[in-house]
Amino acid sequence: MDTYIKFEDLIDADLTVEAIYEGGPKDNVSADPISKILKCENMGGFRISGSKKDHRYRLCGIYTDLVNPDWPDIIEKETGKFIYFGDNRSHGKNLHETPKGGNQLLKYVFEQLHLGNRISIPPFFIFSKSGRRRDVVFQGIAVPGHPDINDTEDLVAIWKLKKGKRFQNYKSIFTILDVATVKREWIEDIQNGHTFTSNAPKEWLEWVETGFYKPLVAERTIEHRTRKEQIPSSAIRYAMVEAIIEHFKGHPKGEYAFEECAALLAKMMDSNIINYDLTRPWRDGGRDAIGKYRIGLNQNAVYVDFALEAKCKGFSSGSGIKETSRLISRLRYRQFGIFVTTSYVSNQAYEEIKADGHPVIIMCANDIGLILESNGYRTVENVKEWLRNLFPYL
């Protein structure tokens, strides 16, 4: 059962990861729970407390709905990585002219991070939309950067196009620390100008002092994903994958054309897939691809073989043991396989892959939607144009 904190109790509440904090009854900013919890601003993605003018920030709450297709914020609960886009979300202003000051804050904290001046970086409190009115879910306390990301990639300015106009916004990467509960007393300490107290989480203090990241890493308790988890819940992802299904439904090259698309999607998923070749048809009617995966730096990399098989199906038609077994049987000396489907893999087939320890990656419909979004394809028309250009009917 979810932990649920009532609106009238917010001012005295601790912050617990995955707890839901109720919004107020009125339909205006006074109902915002984040500002009541943190005593910060009550609107926007960045909820800053402190002085923006001289960068004397006390703390920052970050709010994300996690569903905006143009700005696909992501919380990777398996790695503790939080990807968040800045607040310059329309043309007409430069990168650092946002009225709420969110991008200025990002620029400042990542500069301090790269200089090793972590003591000047405020704590970040991450909240997401719960799906019910103004209620929010506390996702954890975060710090800029991540142990798997170097300092040239943790904050990047990306170009976007809206209504024919180009503009820049930030893409930032944070680490959600392994802190289950943030004490109310620490929030009060921060607001009173005393951040480094005995009430502060020891994982946060350790990061400030040493730069050591201890991410909140959550391993999946269920090894296989259900059908519901494999089919996109986001309407835009659903429509984008549906566009792929429709494009290849009547394609003159048939399944072969989609397998080329599937191999490209796999490469978009992981840039360490450096090449792939489609094979000849098998006697059972199947085709697959074989390729090379790079491990290590270019100068001393090791290359391992993988096999890929793809199925272009409607959402109501899953792939079963017969189809996944075909890929498993073709692994032979290859190190791993990738099974790509525009639909889902059945529970029985998925469970068998996991239970038997087969080195097979399942790329389902929802994964395809996420891959497209992360590579800049965030509308159905974007995807259709991509398909027409790369996989024409001619």
Rounded distance, CA 370 to CA 50, Å?
36
Structural Rg of the chain based on CA atoms: 23
Residue 33 is predicted with a pLDDT of: 97
**Is it the case that residue 92 has pLDDT exceeding 70?**
yes
**Is it the case that residue 385 has pLDDT exceeding 70?**
yes
How deeply is 55 buried, as exposed, middle or buried, from its count of CB atoms within 10 A (0-12, 13-18, 19+)? Answer: middle
Rounded distance, CA 247 to CA 186, Å?
55
**Tens digits of per-residue pLDDT, 339-366?**
999 999 999 999 989 888 889 999 999 9
Residue 284 is predicted with a pLDDT of: 44
Residue 280 is predicted with a pLDDT of: 57
Q: What is the mean pLDDT of residues 300-305?
A: 88
Nearest to 205 by CA among 190, 192, 188: 190
User: Do strands 155-162 and 165-176 pair parallel, antiparallel, or not at all (unpaired)?
Assistant: antiparallel
**Is it the case that residue 333 has pLDDT exceeding 90?**
no
Half-sphere exposure of residue 129: CA atoms within 13 angstroms, side-chain side: 13
Residue with tokens 């107020």: 24
**Tens digits of per-residue pLDDT, 202-212?**
999 999 999 99
User: Do strands 302-311 and 136-144 pair parallel, antiparallel, or not at all (unpaired)?
Assistant: unpaired
**Is it the case that residue 59 has pLDDT exceeding 80?**
yes
Asked if residue 336 lies in contact with residue 360, where contact means CB atoms within 8 angstroms, the answer is: yes
**Tens digits of per-residue pLDDT, 217-233?**
988 666 788 999 999 98
Q: What is the mean pLDDT of the chain?
A: 90
Residue 282 is predicted with a pLDDT of: 47
Residue with tokens 């649920």: 4
Asked if residue 48 lies in contact with residue 104, where contact means CB atoms within 8 angstroms, the answer is: no
The more confident residue out of 69 and 286 is 69
Band of the pLDDT at 139, cuts 50, 70, 90?
A: very high
* Contacting residues for 323 by C-beta, under 8 A, at least 6 apart: 309, 311, 339, 349
290 - beta bridge partners?
Answer: 277, 307
Residue 183 is predicted with a pLDDT of: 97
Residue 222 is predicted with a pLDDT of: 63
Model-level pTM? 0.74
Q: What is the number of residues in the chain?
A: 394
Rounded distance, CA 13 to CA 185, Å?
9
Residue 290 is predicted with a pLDDT of: 85
The more confident residue out of 329 and 184 is 184
Residue 283 is predicted with a pLDDT of: 46
Q: What is the mean pLDDT of residues 70-78?
A: 89
Element (H, E) at 109: helix 102-115
3-state secondary structure of 362: strand
3-state secondary structure 24-44: CCCCCHHHCHHHHHHCCCCCC
DSSP codes joined into one string, 336-355:
EEEEEESS-B-HHHHHHHHH
> What is the crossing angle of helices 380-390 and 235-249, to 10°?
30
Residue 81 is predicted with a pLDDT of: 96
Residue 285 is predicted with a pLDDT of: 45
Band of the pLDDT at 254, cuts 50, 70, 90?
A: low
Instruction: Give CA separation, 388 vs 246, 274, 295, 300, 384, in Å.
Output: 12, 24, 33, 38, 6
Q: What is the mean pLDDT of residues 273-296?
A: 72
